[in-house]
């Protein structure tokens, strides 16, 4: 059987699909399982040599280029090349695990014998392109992904704990970043404003965790990353910033004893790697989007939060009521779940 997964992005979306695909790989080790993904998130699936524990091949959907220059020659060539490669591979089944019109178009490029997606995709027009529409099952998006892939392939699946590719250089760099133990990473980004816990509170939290013996780190994509810089400034030196790409982030998290953050990709990656996590939630619900993985997890969400996926910039009022003292109390309640990680 040849299976094509379409889940282009973003980081959290790719991670939420990965436990289902990991389960399929373990159930059917001899099957071909490939993936269409944005280049930014490919390191979650394969290393620099194109090898990964789950996926045989990744096809790169250069969505940033397409959005930036939608009618350019480079965009037309990129889309044409992807379409040709997908069609030539002759997949038995393609599964759109994203549910947008763009992901449905990309999945349709493969001309697979079966093209499967949700009956109620994120964008309704996407459903018109599927040959088979599957009702959504399960509360959490990880469970929904497993149910969809099971229906598409005919293989009973329960979400499996993931493996992430390792790069020797990033593992070595992460070792050098471990100054003292225990170490806490603050995943201070929010995706959009409604999910962004105030940087001032992250700074205050860093001070309190530092006082409890933690080396406090704020991960950043680049040296001028605004939110991590503001958190470090607000912490009065209690936190330090570590710049790392996606491979480097995974390596750092493997050596981390605690992660505190909102409903963002780095927090979800930490949970899936088994790192103890405190999740700070506002407009998104823990039942659907909470941290999922083998480690100890706690979620803080105020009862006044209103469920919404609208990408507004104003902080969710409930998230704004989550106080630093509550986060510290959650960390202390986790107790022995914060054993030193090797």
Q: How many helices (H) and strands (E) does the chain have?
A: 12, 12
Percentage of the chain with pLDDT > 90?
A: 93
pLDDT single digits (tens) 269-311: 999 999 999 999 999 999 999 999 998 999 999 999 999 988 9
If you compute the radius of gyration of the chain from its CA atoms, what whole number of angstroms results?
20
Mean pLDDT estimate for the chain: 95
3-class SS shares of the chain: helix, strand, coil, % to 5: 45, 15, 40
Q: How far is CA 151 from CA 89, 117, 146, 155, in A?
A: 22, 10, 9, 7
Q: Where are the alpha helices (DSSP H) in the chain?
A: 11-27, 63-68, 73-89, 101-109, 141-153, 168-177, 199-211, 226-234, 246-254, 265-272, 286-289, 324-334
**Order of strands across the sheet with 297-301?**
239-243, 215-220, 183-187, 258-262, 277-281, 297-301
Domains of the chain and CATH, by start = 2-153 (3.40.50.2000), 168-338 (3.40.50.2000)
Q: What is the mean pLDDT of residues 218-232?
A: 96
Which pTM value belongs to this model? 0.94
């Amino acid at each position: 059987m040849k299976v094509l997964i379409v889940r282009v992005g973003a980081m959290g979306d790719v991670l939420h699909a990965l436990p289902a695909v990991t389960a399929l790989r373990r159930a059917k080790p001899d099957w071909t399982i490939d993936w269409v993904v944005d280049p930014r998130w490919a390191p979650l699936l394969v290393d620099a040599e194109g090898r990964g524990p789950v996926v045989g091949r990744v096809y790169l959907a250069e969505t940033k280029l397409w959005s930036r220059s939608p009618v350019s020659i480079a965009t037309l060539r990129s889309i044409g090349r992807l379409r040709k490669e997908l069609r030539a591979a002759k997949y038995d089944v393609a599964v759109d695990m994203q549910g947008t019109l763009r992901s449905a178009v990309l999945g349709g490029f493969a001309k697979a014998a079966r093209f499967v997606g949700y009956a109620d995709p994120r964008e309704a027009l996407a459903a018109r392109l599927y040959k088979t529409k599957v009702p959504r099952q399960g509360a959490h998006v990880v469970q929904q992904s497993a149910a969809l892939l099971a229906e598409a392939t005919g293989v009973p699946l329960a979400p499996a704990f993931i493996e992430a590719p390792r790069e020797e250089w990033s593992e070595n760099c992460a070792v050098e970043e471990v100054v003292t133990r225990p170490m806490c990473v603050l995943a201070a980004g929010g995706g959009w404003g409604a999910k962004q816990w105030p940087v001032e509170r992250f700074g205050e939290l860093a001070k309190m965790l530092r006082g409890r013996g933690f080396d406090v780190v704020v991960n950043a994509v680049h040296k001028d990353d605004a939110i991590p810089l503001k958190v470090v400034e607000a912490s009065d030196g209690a936190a330090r910033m570590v710049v790392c790409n996606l491979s480097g982030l995974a390596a750092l998290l493997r050596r981390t004893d605690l992660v505190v953050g909102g409903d963002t990709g780095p927090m979800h990656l930490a949970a899936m790697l088994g790192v103890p996590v405190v999740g700070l939630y506002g407009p998104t619900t823990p039942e659907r989007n909470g941290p999922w993985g083998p480690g100890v997890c706690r979620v803080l969400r105020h009862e006044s939060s209103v469920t919404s996926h609208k990408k507004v910039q104003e902080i969710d009022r409930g998230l704004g009521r989550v106080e630093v003292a509550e986060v510290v109390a959650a960390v202390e309640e986790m107790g022995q779940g914060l054993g030193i990680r090797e």
